[in-house]
Amino acid sequence: MKINLLLAIAIAFFTSNSNAQSIAHKDSINTIIKMYYDLNVKVSQADSSPTDVENIFKIFTDDFTYVHPKYGGVYTREDLHKGYLRNQKAGRYNGNVTDIKIINKIVGLDSAVVEKRFITKDEGEGESQMTLFEFKKGKISKIFEYW
């Protein structure tokens, strides 16, 4: 419930300010990245629902792309959406991921590079991983995974 309220407030704020300026403010970028990781932890739980998946996609642009060369290359918004729902239905989200810890972040012009670690029940704190986020009008337009 808390995440849904935060998501609604953030979307309302970003869309209402989008005509004033198309460049996302550093605080906005930080908020959206935190929201993205919080929502992914929620989806990773065994009791997550398709609504939890939908909440992630509310913070993506319509032309969003996800790039992960190690795990298959380039995914459209639709490809990624289907993958989330397929994994959820297959029970792959089992609660093993308990948190995502941001180690370092560099925020630039409509972009940010994040160093993060998954925290899991099985292994604790995992290896550092690097992710590039790009933004358009207060939403994530591209995620490029470098791990």
Tell me the pLDDT tens digit for each residue of 48-98.
999 999 999 999 999 999 999 998 899 999 999 999 999 999 999 999 999
| Amino acid present at 83 | G
Report CA-CA distances (Å) from 49 to 40, 43, 44, 85, 121: 12, 7, 10, 9, 21
For the chain, the first-to-last Cα distance in angstroms comes to 32
C-alpha 28/C-alpha 51 separation (Å) is: 23
C-alpha 97/C-alpha 119 separation (Å) is: 6
C-alpha 37/C-alpha 99 separation (Å) is: 8
Domain at 2-145: CATH architecture: Roll (3.10)
Nearest C-alpha neighbor of 48 from the set 38, 34, 61, 58 = 38
pTM summary value: 0.84
- Is residue 122 classed exposed, middle or buried when 0-12, 13-18 and 19+ CB atoms within 10 A define those classes? exposed
**Domain locations in the chain as residue ranges:** 2-145
pLDDT tens, position by position, 2-59: 555 444 444 444 444 444 446 778 899 999 999 999 999 999 999 999 999 999 999 9
